[in-house]
Amino acid sequence: MGLLRSLAMLLLSIWLFCLLQVARAQSPSSSTSDARALDALLQDYAYQAFVHPRTGVVYEGIVPSNLTGIMISAMRLRSGSLRTKGVRVFKEFEIPKGVLEEPYVERLVLVYQNLGNWSKVYYPLPGYTYVAPILGLLAYDASDLMANNLPELDIRASGQPISIKFSNLKSLPDGLVLKCVSFDLNGLENFSNVLSENICTTFQQGHFSIVVESIAPSPASVSPTPASPGGKHVPKINGEGKKNNSKVWIVIGSVLGGVASLVLLGLLVSWLHKYRNRKRIQKMERAADFGEILHMTTVGSTKAPAATMMRTQPTIETEYVP
């Protein structure tokens, strides 16, 4: 059984290895890390909008020129007021009472992002078309307004969800079903239904938009942004390339894993087959030793074993006359 067990172990470890590779290729995709880097950059720029900030007032931030098209805003709040009152209007967001942050801070900053024409660059969603820009809502500790690279606070609505009212949806042919899409901070997407035409809801922070499933993607709609002449600020072309690359590796990995498994399975089966044959021969030998005694008959001048019931009498070939 030793061989069988080690073969099985080998098979299992190869399979686990392949699984791991696939998981690694999929989870922190390059576009997710680009999006996280953008969050960090926008936090920094949003905080710069605060000079002598009053709580509960929306301050508009200014993005670096290489990100023109993105809009950011920030609002500083006491966490007690967020919990007991919420924020009736923060751009497209309506935050009900009962939103709690984790870990607890005394004051926090809500950063709003509108990614505009950069939405699909930072949040590519194959098979879907954005009909609204990606809107982000992220929360940070407000204790140091000069800070950058702050970690997000985890905010959650404990009662009513936060709602997002999108305006100016891109007009579309009738009959397409709108879907809310949300991305959590790990870049995981989740779809839900749109409420009254243009409202999405969420219980946590993240990035949100409305999409429709793409109709047969015409070449024009696939690449509406030809690499601009001053294209040094279009870094995500690269990002998408990397993503495709990792998909290729997933495919190659799966195929190789599959082939390896098949080969091993073949080996296992042939080994089992041999093992069973050996067992059978052993059994036959044992049967010969202890069980039925084979009757010896004389055939011509030689002795040969013969079963008790014979269908044909043994004859010597040369004696056989047709």
Contacts with ligand NAG, residue ranges (CB under 6 A): 41, 64, 66-69, 117-118, 121, 190, 192, 225, 228, 233, 235
Q: Which of 202, 107, 116 is nearest to 150 (CA)?
A: 107
Q: Which of 6, 152, 173, 141 is nearest to 76 (CA)?
A: 141
* CA separation for the pair 179, 189 (Å, rounded): 12
Cis peptide before 103 (omega within 30 of 0): yes
* CA separation for the pair 131, 181 (Å, rounded): 11
Comparison of 34 and 79: residue with beta carbon closer to ligand NAG: 34
* CB 139 to ligand NAG: min, Å: 18
* CA separation for the pair 115, 279 (Å, rounded): 70
Comparison of 173 and 230: residue with beta carbon closer to ligand NAG: 230
> What is the number of the residue whose Cβ is closest to ligand NAG?
69
* CB 196 to ligand NAG: min, Å: 16
What type of residue is 12?
L
* CA separation for the pair 80, 156 (Å, rounded): 14
* CB 164 to ligand NAG: min, Å: 12
* CB 10 to ligand NAG: min, Å: 35
* CA separation for the pair 58, 81 (Å, rounded): 15
Comparison of 75 and 123: residue with beta carbon closer to ligand NAG: 123
Residue found by looking up tokens 């690499």 in the block: 227
10 Å CB burial of residue 317 (0-12, 13-18, 19+) is exposed
Comparison of 13 and 192: residue with beta carbon closer to ligand NAG: 192
* CB 217 to ligand NAG: min, Å: 18
What type of residue is 315?
T
Comparison of 86 and 133: residue with beta carbon closer to ligand NAG: 133
Q: Which of 180, 182, 184, 189 is nearest to 211 (CA)?
A: 180
* CB 276 to ligand NAG: min, Å: 48
Comparison of 62 and 284: residue with beta carbon closer to ligand NAG: 62
**Spacing of C-alpha 49 from chain mean position:** 35
Comparison of 188 and 288: residue with beta carbon closer to ligand NAG: 188
Comparison of 233 and 280: residue with beta carbon closer to ligand NAG: 233
* CB 201 to ligand NAG: min, Å: 7
* CA separation for the pair 12, 178 (Å, rounded): 43
The continuous run of DSSP H or E covering 268 comes out as: helix 236-290
CA distances from 13 to 6, 9, 16, 22 (A): 10, 6, 5, 14
* CB 186 to ligand NAG: min, Å: 10
